[in-house]
């Protein structure tokens, strides 16, 4: 039987997991799905994710793929995997794709969302960042516009994860209100480790109406200087993982 390349679209609540990437001593999303594939087929597969979400980060449309030599029809993987997975991981779609499809390297853009709750919620406490201190939404929206375009985002990346090339092109960056929540949406061709959380943390810092006098507080001007000039010092205002979602991953038409 010929090998098949299976693409999965996945939704998960990351609260109970140490992130996407498999680890030997703790539960991860990649590890849970890989084990579920093994239970169904008896095969050990290399599950490739489009992005390595951190501990506590959620996904509405994570994409992954694996190559397998097995008789199970590709669409059946959705039902079979959901049978073995806990309810906080759901396979939304399973399909066969071209042999050269690679969930990470074939991706053309990713879209992330960050949720900030303006009031406490017992039910949604692990699904958003609760921030009851008032924020200047005009400053937030102005800062989001500064993010647009191609920039070196190394100040917003974990130092140990920096690459030779840290340029990212941001096609969409916007804050908007949704009931009692503030929502940030961003889409770009690539993202560095902790980049979205660093951007959100910095923007919240500069938009806080009643700043903490014991901390350095950014201005819109200083934020713009960091974005445009890529200062060597890392920005340390990192938003919590709990409010971040990988919304979708885009590919060339016909590629997947």
Average pLDDT by stretches of 10, the chain with 256 residues: 92 96 94 98 97 95 97 94 98 97 97 95 88 92 97 86 85 94 96 95 91 73 87 79 97 70
Tell me the CATH number for domain 108-249: 3.30.70.660
Query: Are 170 and 188 spatial neighbours (Cβ–Cβ below 8 Å)?
Result: yes
Catalytically active residues are 54
| pLDDT for residue 67 | 97
Give Cα separations from 224 to 69, 114, 132, 139, 189 (angstroms): 51, 20, 25, 12, 21
| pLDDT for residue 1 | 63
| pLDDT for residue 211 | 65
Angle between helices 137-147 and 195-207 (to 10 degrees): 140
| pLDDT for residue 224 | 92
Give Cα separations from 66 to 56, 100, 102, 234 (angstroms): 24, 11, 9, 36
The secondary structure of the chain in percent helix, strand, coil, rounded to multiples of 5, reads 25, 30, 45
Is-above-0.85 flag for pTM?
yes
Is CATH 3.10.560.10 what the domain over 4-105 is classified as, yes or no? no
| pLDDT for residue 61 | 98
Q: What is the rounded CA–CA span in Å between residue 166 and residue 255?
A: 26
| pLDDT for residue 106 | 97
Instruction: Name the DSSP class of 213.
Output: T
Sorted by where each begins, the domain ranges of the chain are 4-105, 108-249
| pLDDT for residue 163 | 77
């Amino acid at each position: 039987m010929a090998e098949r390349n299976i693409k999965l679209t996945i939704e998960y609540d990351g609260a109970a997991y140490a992130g996407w990437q498999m680890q030997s001593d703790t539960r991860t999303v990649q590890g849970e799905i890989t084990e579920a594939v093994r239970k169904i087929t008896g095969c050990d597969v290399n599950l490739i994710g489009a992005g390595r979400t951190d501990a506590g980060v959620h996904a509405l449309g994570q994409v992954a793929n694996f190559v397998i030599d097995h008789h199970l029809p590709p669409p059946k993987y959705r039902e079979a995997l959901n049978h073995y997975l806990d309810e906080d991981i759901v396979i939304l779609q399973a399909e066969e794709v071209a042999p050269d499809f690679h969930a990470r390297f074939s991706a053309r853009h990713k879209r992330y969302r960050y949720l900030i709750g303006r009031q406490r919620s017992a039910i949604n406490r692990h699904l958003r960042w609760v921030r009851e201190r008032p924020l200047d939404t005009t400053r937030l929206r102005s800062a989001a516009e500064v993010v647009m375009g191609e920039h070196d985002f190394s100040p917003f990346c974990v130092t140990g994860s920096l690459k030779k090339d840290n340029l990212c092109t941001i096609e969409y960056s916007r804050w908007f209100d949704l009931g009692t929540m503030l929502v940030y949406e961003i889409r770009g061709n690539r993202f560095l480790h902790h980049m979205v959380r660093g951007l959100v943390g910095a923007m919240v810092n500069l938009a806080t109406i009643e700043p903490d006098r014991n901390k350095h507080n950014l201005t819109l001007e200083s934020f713009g200087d960091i974005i445009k000039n890529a200062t060597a010092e890392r920005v340390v205002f990192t938003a919590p993982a709990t409010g971040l979602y990988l919304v979708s991953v885009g590919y060339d038409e016909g590629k997947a």
